[in-house]
Structures are given as C-alpha cells and as structure tokens.
C-alpha cells in the first residue's frame, strides 16, 4: 500500500470508531475504542515504518485559505519516526483500555471517553503529518484540548479538574510562544508552508535567530516537560486515567521533542554554539531535578511522572550536544549525539508506557499506588511483576535492555568533547557528563526501590495481601511492551541503522557507519575495514551470528585512529548470551553440584529474636529513599510540621509526629517569586485607587509625558 492509502485508512478507522461510539450503547464504548484504536494504530505504525525504513515520502495539498496560503500534509523520515513511535504505544494502550475502562462503568460517561480518545489519536498523528505552520498549530491545539478533557475525565474529583486546567493553561502559553516563533519565521518567508520557512531561514540575522530559538525551544519545552516549565507534569499525570497517563508520557511528551527537533534542526537549524549550550544545560538540569524528585516519591504514578521529566532531560541533553557538534563542524560526534537522543526517545516511549499501564493495573486491582502499602506482589501477580521488572531494568539502564544502549551512548557523547577546541565548551560538557552520570545512578536507586518495595518482601497492607493477577486485556499489552524493551536492547545494531535516516539530514553524516562496523563477512561493506582491525575482532567473535542473521554485525563500536583504534565498544547481544550462560552455570552448580547430596533441614528463621517478622517491621519505600532525601536536603528543603502530645508529666512526651511537606524546587524558585511579584504589583495598583481626582489627573499627565519621551527617543 502507498503512504496515502495507509494514512487514509487510519483516519477512516478513527472516524468509523467515532460514529460507532455514537451509534452503539454506551457499554460497548470500550470495545469500540479498543478495536478501532488498535486497528488505526496498526496502520499509522505501518505508515511510519514505511516512511522511516523505506524512505517513502508523502505530500497532499488540502485547500487554500485567504491570507494563510495552501494547507498541506506531508511525511518525511523524521515524521515517520514519530508516527511509528505513536503507533507502537497507542496499539497496546488501546487494547489495555478494553478491560481498564470497566472500572468507570456507571460512574462516568464512557461514550465521551471513547470519542475523546479516538479524536486524540487523530490529532497525535496529524502533528507529524502537518506540512505548514497553520495546520501544525491547529493539530497542536486540538491535541492540547483533547488531552485536557481526558486528564480531567474523573471530573467529580477536584484534583483531576485542577490538574487538567493547569496543564491546559501552561500548554496555551507554550502554544502562544510557538505561534509567535512561526510568525517571525513566516515574516521572512512570505508563507506558512515548511519548504518556504526552511528556505527563508538562511538570511535571518543573529538576533532574530536567537529570538525564534528561545520562543520555539521553551514553547515546545512546555509540552516536553523541561525545567523550568515542567511544574504541570507531576500534577497532571497522576490524576489522569492509567491509559491516558501512558499516552501523555509516551506519546505527547515526544511531540514536544518533535517540535524542538523540527524547528531547530530542520526549519531553522542551529548554527552557533550558544543555543546548543542552552539546550544542553536545560536538558541536564531537567534530568537531574526529575530523578531527584522521582527517587523520594512513593506514589507510583507521581514517581513515573517525575521520571518522565528525567528522561526528557536526557534526550534534550543529547540534542544539545548534537547542536553544538554541528555548529563547531564535527559531524560524526553530532550524528552519534542525535542518534543517542532518538534511540532514548524510542526506549522511553516503550518502557514508560509499560510502567504506566502497570501502575494503572495496580490501581484498578488494588485501589492504591502507594509503595509503602504494597509489597509481596510478585507471588500474587507474577506476570505483572515480571513485566514491571523488565520495565524497571530498562528504565534503570541495565544491560541487555534498550535503556542501557541509549544511556550508554549519551554518556559516550559527553566524552567526545575532547574533539572540541574551546576549553569553556569542554568544561560545559564535563559538567553535563557528571550531571548525567549522577542522574543515571539515581535512576538505578529509584527503580530498585520501585520494584523491591512494590513486588518483593511481605505484603504491608490488606489490599496487597489480597491481590490477584490482572486481566488478560492488561497482561497482553504489557507483555508486548516488555518484549519490545528486550528487542530494543538486543537489536541495537539494527535499531541504529533504522534511525540513521533521521540522523543523516541533521548531522550531515551517517551514525550507522560510525557506530556499527560491517563485521559480518557477508556484508558488502566488510571490505572497507582494515584487514588487521577486522581480523582482531573476528578472533574475538565479532562474526558470531553471520550465518543466520542479516546486517552489519552485532557490535556497537566507534573507531578511532591508528594509535587508538577503538574509542568505545559494546554488544548487548553477546552480553545477553554471556548472562544466560552464567545463569545456567549457577543453576547447574546449585542443583547438580555437591550441595545437592546434603540433607536439608527446615528451621524457624531467626528475625532478631522475634518469633515473627511483621510487615510493619520491614523496610518501606520511605526508608529506602531517606538517604537521598538527607543528602539532597539543600535542594528539597522540606517544611517540617511537628505535632507533640504531652504525657502526664510535663518533661515526657508520648508522641512526636513529623510531617514533611515538599515544596518543589521549581515552585520555590520560579512560581512563588512570580506570584509574589504579581501580588506586589496588584497591591501597588490597589493603593492608587483612593478616589482623589487630582491624583488621577496627575497619573494621566505622567503617562502622557512618558509616551512623548519614548516617542522622541524612538
């Protein structure tokens, strides 16, 4: 099928689903949503894969509007990547919704949810398909409004409505900034279509380029959840239904990155170091702030929301590094940086959808997401526990899963600053590398806590004790996403060439050629490797798998010069084989070694002299995260409220209760000063309204004088 046919089928399925939702009884709405949403997702996934992997292009003129010009749709490799990611996420989310939405039966209008969901799917696809500024902004606004209604779907809960309004208000500010950036760029182009905008960017001056960059970067940064415009995200994601939370984190946040990349990598490419440093700094700061608050959080969905800020920060930091390398004339490190960003984008979409759907399953089955009230779930929910374990290992960046590859490449990118001449930029990269390394270490701590406190140990509440496995409508999508996490890790040398089509126009060179040497002797470019270099790696086993696997090889390796032939190298596929062999050896040693002949006797376990270890005595998520809370107290700066109850004698107290109220860093440093400033201005203006006519006349004369002086100066 052609791209036009696939895209037409997608929109037709969304439309048919909308009509069926209206025509059928409300109880059928989840089934209609699941079937039409999954089928539509399959076709948009197919279209994205055809554009990304096959290089097919698509262009369709819609209609001409007065003053706005011709509206059109189009698809290139970059748009194809985001369509592909969207389809990979919305397909399992749609299937998951079939069982999940039953919890709202009789409480909320499921027909309204189905209509909003399918319309949101259409708008999410329309954004990467937009080929002019007006169509893009219309699709962007539709996505913002529809996501607001879905976040506030449980409208009887005040917090859900407040979170939805906050997300909408902040998103509208970002949209205004993006619209202004498009208008400034269109003023020089004389049109709104992307080819005209791209062509006009060459003649813009430095001041105009900086202005457009700041407007577009922070405007799209709102949707991506970047510091300092991320305060809406940890409030909105936890209040949304579980399937909507997965879409917010795994698809909608990506569109913020798409906007940054489309604007600053395609329409108005960054050609100086300054904007790249801004992107790098904001990315590292977002990653570090996000993971710090995720580590101390106990509500699972709020934890995952903060983690999304962290992952968007890692992606943005790699983009910033790519912009800097491009501006300084280093195409190969730039290609690796862009590749690391896009690879992490794909990984984050998959494992964050997995984790949010898992959290939604826990919430639906148990009625709680508090890690302090869970525990022992692996025995009661083994399949959910297995899938959540895979997601936790992947997001923690452990081999051989997908998160390891992209995070490892992101750190390697920071080390490539040795190729730059400027000492100041090298220092910036060194600080960024330290920040990312700390971020990744805290991510391991965070998700060890998440899985261990949620699924291991003893059940710490009655609901955890009575837990049962989730329905198949939840487990099948979770299994699909868990399998993708594994494939994205083991197939690194296949994912990199797939993403190379997007990287090459951004960096001007191939990331696959720089990272995946053709070690397989059957590959046509194998002869390009120096014979001695190829022979050394063939002796190490670099050709394992050549007889039954296509492609360049299974080793990710960046080559250097004669004195340093290998800059960095790794292979998740071979790592996986080694891990399996080690597990086999341990299994055989335990079950078939000398120890099996010994007689095993069972005795009551020793628990510090106690006859029985109670769940209340076990480690909790709060206790696990307390070292991080203490070490970074200067950042968190919690407000402590102490309530003391005195006993009969005044010098003894029976109870001391301390409650920590967290005030987010962004709220403290950004929002509160703005609120205080606005209140001070309002108070000053209020004092001016005292009823004295002479004073009002004086105000008018003063304003007139200021206007005349400014007119004279200008």
Mean pLDDT of 337-361: 96
pLDDT tens sequence across 150-187: 999 999 899 999 999 999 999 999 999 999 999 999 88
Tokens of 365: 């089955």
Please, are residues 369 and 297 in contact by the beta-carbon 8 Å criterion?
no
pLDDT tens sequence across 71-106: 889 999 999 999 999 999 999 999 999 999 989 988
Round the average pLDDT of the chain to a whole number and report it. Answer: 87
Tokens of 699: 């105000």
Spatial distance between the Cα atoms of 207 and 12, rounded to a whole number of angstroms: 45
The per-residue pLDDT for 367 is: 87
pLDDT class of 594 with cuts at 50, 70, 90: low
Provide the percentage of residues in the chain whose pLDDT is more than 70. Answer: 91
Mean pLDDT of 683-696: 72
Mean pLDDT of 315-328: 95
Tokens of 462: 């009655």
327 DSSP β-pair partners: none
The per-residue pLDDT for 127 is: 95
User: For residues 592 and 332, which has the higher predicted lDDT (pLDDT)?
Assistant: 332
The per-residue pLDDT for 275 is: 94
Write out the E strands in 486-565. Answer: 556-559
User: Which residues lie below 8 Å from residue 647, measured CB to CB, with a gap of 6+?
Assistant: 653, 654
**638 pLDDT higher than 60:** no
- Smallest CA-to-CA distance from 14 within 115, 143, 82, 113 is with 115
**116 pLDDT higher than 90:** yes
The per-residue pLDDT for 551 is: 81
Phi, psi of 436 (to 5 degrees): -70, -40
User: For residues 603 and 125, which has the higher predicted lDDT (pLDDT)?
Assistant: 125
Mean pLDDT of 698-710: 82
- Smallest CA-to-CA distance from 30 within 90, 99, 88, 89 is with 99
**455 pLDDT higher than 60:** yes
pLDDT tens sequence across 369-413: 999 889 889 999 999 999 999 999 999 999 899 999 999 999 999
pLDDT class of 654 with cuts at 50, 70, 90: low
- Smallest CA-to-CA distance from 277 within 322, 337, 211 is with 322
The per-residue pLDDT for 70 is: 79
Provide the percentage of residues in the chain whose pLDDT is more than 90. Answer: 57
The per-residue pLDDT for 52 is: 93
The per-residue pLDDT for 535 is: 77
**223 pLDDT higher than 90:** yes
**328 pLDDT higher than 70:** yes
Q: What is the CA radius of gyration of the chain?
A: 28
Phi, psi of 318 (to 5 degrees): -65, -40
**648 pLDDT higher than 50:** no
Tokens of 230: 């991320």
User: For residues 465 and 320, which has the higher predicted lDDT (pLDDT)?
Assistant: 320
User: For residues 603 and 325, which has the higher predicted lDDT (pLDDT)?
Assistant: 325
The per-residue pLDDT for 54 is: 86
Widest distance between CA atoms in the chain: 105
Domain ranges of the chain: 1-204, 635-678
Entry pTM: 0.91
**133 pLDDT higher than 80:** yes
pLDDT tens sequence across 619-631: 788 788 878 877 8
Write out the E strands in 21-127. Answer: 58-65, 69-75
In this structure, is the dihedral angle defined by the CA atoms of residues 83, 84, 88 and 94, taken in order, positive or negative?
positive
3-state SS assignment for residue 103: helix
**714 pLDDT higher than 90:** no
**598 pLDDT higher than 70:** no
Percentages helix, strand, coil for the chain (3-state, rounded to 5) are 70, 5, 20
């Amino acid at each position: 099928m052609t791209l036009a046919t696939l895209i037409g089928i997608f929109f037709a399925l969304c439309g048919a689903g909308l009509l069926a939702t209206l025509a059928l009884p409300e109880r059928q709405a989840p089934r209609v949503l699941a079937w039409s949403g999954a089928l539509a997702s399959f076709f948009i996934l197919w279209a994205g894969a055809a554009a990304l992997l096959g290089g097919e292009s698509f262009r369709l003129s819609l209609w001409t509007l007065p003053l706005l010009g011709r509206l059109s749709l189009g698809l290139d490799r970059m748009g194809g990547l985001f369509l592909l990611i969207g389809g990979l996420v919305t397909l399992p989310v749609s299937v998951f919704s079939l069982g999940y939405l039953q919890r709202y039966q009789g409480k909320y209008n499921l027909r309204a949810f189905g209509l909003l969901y399918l319309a949101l799917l259409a708008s999410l696809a329309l954004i990467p398909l937009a080929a002019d500024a007006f169509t893009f902004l219309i699709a962007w606004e539709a996505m913002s409004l529809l996501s607001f209604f879905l976040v506030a779907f449980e409208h009887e809960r005040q917090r859900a409505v407040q979170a939805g309004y906050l997300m909408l208000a902040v998103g509208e500010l970002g949209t205004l900034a993006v619209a202004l950036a498009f208008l400034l760029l269109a003023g020089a182009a004389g049109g709104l279509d992307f080819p005209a905008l791209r062509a006009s960017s060459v003649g813009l001056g430095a001041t105009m380029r900086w202005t457009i960059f700041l407007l577009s970067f922070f405007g799209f940064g709102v949707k991506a959840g970047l510091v300092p415009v991320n305060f809406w995200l940890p409030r909105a994601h936890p209040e949304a239904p579980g399937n909507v939370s997965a879409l917010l984190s795994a698809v909608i946040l990506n569109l913020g990155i798409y906007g940054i990349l489309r604007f600053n990598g395609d329409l108005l490419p960054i050609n100086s170091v300054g904007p790249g440093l801004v992107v790098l700094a904001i990315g590292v700061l977002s990653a570090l702030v996000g993971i710090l608050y995720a580590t101390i959080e106990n509500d699972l969905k709020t934890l995952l929301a903060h983690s999304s800020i962290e992952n968007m920060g890692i992606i943005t930091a790699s983009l910033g590094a790519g912009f800097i390398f491009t501006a300084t004339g280093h195409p190969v490190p730039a290609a690796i940086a862009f590749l690391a960003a896009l690879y992490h984008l794909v990984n984050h979409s998959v494992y964050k959808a997995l984790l949010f759907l898992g959290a939604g399953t826990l919430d639906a089955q148990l009625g709680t997401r508090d890690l302090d009230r869970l525990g022992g779930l692996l025995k009661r929910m083994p399949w959910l526990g297995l899938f959540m374990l895979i997601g936790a290992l992947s997001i923690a960046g452990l081999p051989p899963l997908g998160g390891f590859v992209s995070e490892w490449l992101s750190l390697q990118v920071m080390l490539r600053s040795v190729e730059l001449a400027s000492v100041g930029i090298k220092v910036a990269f060194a600080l960024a590398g330290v920040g990312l390394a700390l971020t990744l270490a805290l991510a391991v701590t965070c998700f060890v806590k998440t899985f261990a406190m949620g699924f291991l140990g003893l059940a710490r509440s009655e609901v955890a004790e009575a837990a049962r496995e989730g329905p198949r409508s939840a487990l099948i999508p979770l299994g699909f996403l868990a399998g993708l996490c594994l494939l994205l890790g083991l197939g690194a040398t296949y994912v990199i060439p797939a993403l190379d089509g997007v990287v090459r126009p951004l960096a001007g060179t191939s990331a696959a050629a720089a990272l995946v040497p053709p070690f397989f002797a059957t590959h046509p470019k194998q002869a390009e490797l120096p014979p001695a270099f190829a022979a050394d790696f063939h002796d190490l086993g670099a050709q394992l798998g050549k007889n039954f696997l296509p492609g360049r090889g299974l080793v990710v390796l960046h080559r250097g010069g004669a004195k340093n032939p290998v800059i960095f190298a790794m292979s998740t596929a071979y790592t996986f084989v080694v891990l399996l062999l080690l597990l086999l050896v341990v299994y055989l040693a335990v079950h078939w070694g000398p120890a099996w002949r010994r007689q095993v006797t069972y005795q009551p376990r020793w628990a510090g002299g106690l006859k029985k270890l109670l769940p209340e005595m076990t480690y909790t998520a709060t206790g696990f995260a307390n070292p991080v809370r203490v070490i970074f107290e200067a950042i968190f700066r919690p407000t402590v409220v102490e309530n003391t109850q005195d006993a009969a004698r005044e010098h003894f107290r029976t109870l001391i209760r301390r409650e920590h109220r967290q005030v987010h860093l962004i709220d403290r440093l950004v929002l509160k000063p703005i609120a205080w400033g606005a209140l001070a201005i309002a108070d000053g203006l209020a004092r001016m309204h005292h009823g004295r006519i002479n004073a009002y006349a004086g105000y008018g004369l003063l304003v007139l004088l200021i206007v005349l002086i400014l007119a004279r100066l200008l």
